[in-house]
Structure 1
Amino acid sequence: MDVVARHIAAIDRLRALVLPEEGGVGYRAVVLESSQGLRAGDAGVRGRVVGDFHALREAIAGRLDERWGGGPGWGQVTLRVRLARGESIPEPWATLCLRADELDVWQGEDGVWVAVGVADRDVEDEVELVAAVTCTAPP
């Protein structure tokens, strides 16, 4: 199984889990892939890794676009501004906007939202390909 198919299978498994009812978390999130040991270090190496992760995200997005239709990436700057102003942003969107600059987002036929992004905003952290599923629409 190629890496894109493996990650899509992980997203499908995540979608198959029952999401908690009212009062529960309301979402599930997973790290699909991590840079495993790369932190601040060499900026050139980090830049290549970030580029590779974005290419992988785009490949996954292409396949999920075939399933649910596509659209432009969803930028996170506005959500960060709203958070900074003290607005309450529901999870997983609040956390995702702090970790990734852009998300690919889809709503499945069952009403479940899927988001995929590259968490690369903090050079002190690992670069991660992340996915989340939720019944809460993006704000």
Structure 2
Amino acid sequence: MTLAGHLATIDRLRLDPFPEAPVRSGPCDSGPGFHVAELITSEDFWDDDGSRRELAEEQWEAEREALAQLLAGRWGEPQVFGLGSLLTRGFQGEHIPDPWDRLCNAVPDVHLWRVDGRWIVLGVAYGDKEMPLQLLAAVTTVDPP
């Protein structure tokens, strides 16, 4: 997908109503107060010596930064929010609401904008070293915990 396609997806998510119960529709998970969309997903890295993954990480980060620059043109510079403390708090038994629970389990940090009462979130999900990378976009009314 192109940057224009990513912007269109984010714009659609901003307008889509939130369902009352969790649902998956294609590359998008939604639930009360949130949508999380997989904008792009890499191949997996099971047979990689690390070089393909390293290149993919650079590409996915560059894609996020390019998209963040376009969104900054609309809404100003993003807040950068580390999710490591949320992951730790979740491991310690604290309830972390969606979509933040899902995000903190794979995304180390996100770019955030607050627009019209909703958070717009961009992040790169790394997962395990063999798993695909994902560029994720989320729209939520749930404040970061």
Length-normalised TM-score, structure 2: 0.86
Kindly report structure 1 stretches of 4+ aligned residues shifted beyond 3 Å: 20-24
Which deviates further from its counterpart, 14-23 or 3-12?
14-23
Q: Shift of the alpha carbon at 1:64?
A: 0.9
Which residue does 2:138 correspond to in 1?
132
Select which of 108, 111, 114 maps to 1:107.
114
Q: Shift of the alpha carbon at 1:87?
A: 0.7
Q: Shift of the alpha carbon at 1:22?
A: 9.3
SS of residue in 2 equivalent to 1:114: strand
Instruction: Give the structure with the larger strand fraction.
Output: 2
User: Does structure 2 conserve the Cα–Cα contact (< 8 Å) formed by 1:104 and 1:117?
Assistant: yes
Instruction: Give the structure with the larger helix fraction.
Output: 1
Q: Shift of the alpha carbon at 1:4?
A: 1.4
Larger RCO, structure (CA 8 Å, separation 6 or more): 1
Identity of aligned residues (%): 38
Which residue does 1:117 correspond to in 2?
123
Whole-angstrom CA distance in 1 between matches of 2:53 and 2:121: 23
Which residue does 1:13 correspond to in 2?
12
Task: Note the alpha carbon deviations across 1:70-91, whole angstroms, 9 max, x for none.
Answer: 1342111111111111111110
Whole-angstrom CA distance in 2 between matches of 1:123 and 1:133: 27
| Residue type at the aligned position of 1:116 | L
Length-normalised TM-score, structure 1: 0.89
User: Does structure 2 conserve the Cα–Cα contact (< 8 Å) formed by 1:101 and 1:121?
Assistant: no
User: Does structure 2 conserve the Cα–Cα contact (< 8 Å) formed by 1:114 and 1:131?
Assistant: yes
Whole-angstrom CA distance in 2 between matches of 1:131 and 1:106: 11
Would you say how many aligned residue pairs link Structure 1 and Structure 2?
A: 136
**What RMSD over aligned residues (CA atoms) do the two structures have, in Å?**
1.9
Within the alignment, does 1:46 sit opposite 2:45 as a pair?
no
Whole-angstrom CA distance in 2 between matches of 1:22 and 1:121: 25
User: Does structure 2 conserve the Cα–Cα contact (< 8 Å) formed by 1:40 and 1:46?
Assistant: no
Whole-angstrom CA distance in 2 between matches of 1:50 and 1:22: 33
Structure 1: gaps of 5 or more residues: none
Q: Shift of the alpha carbon at 1:6?
A: 1.4
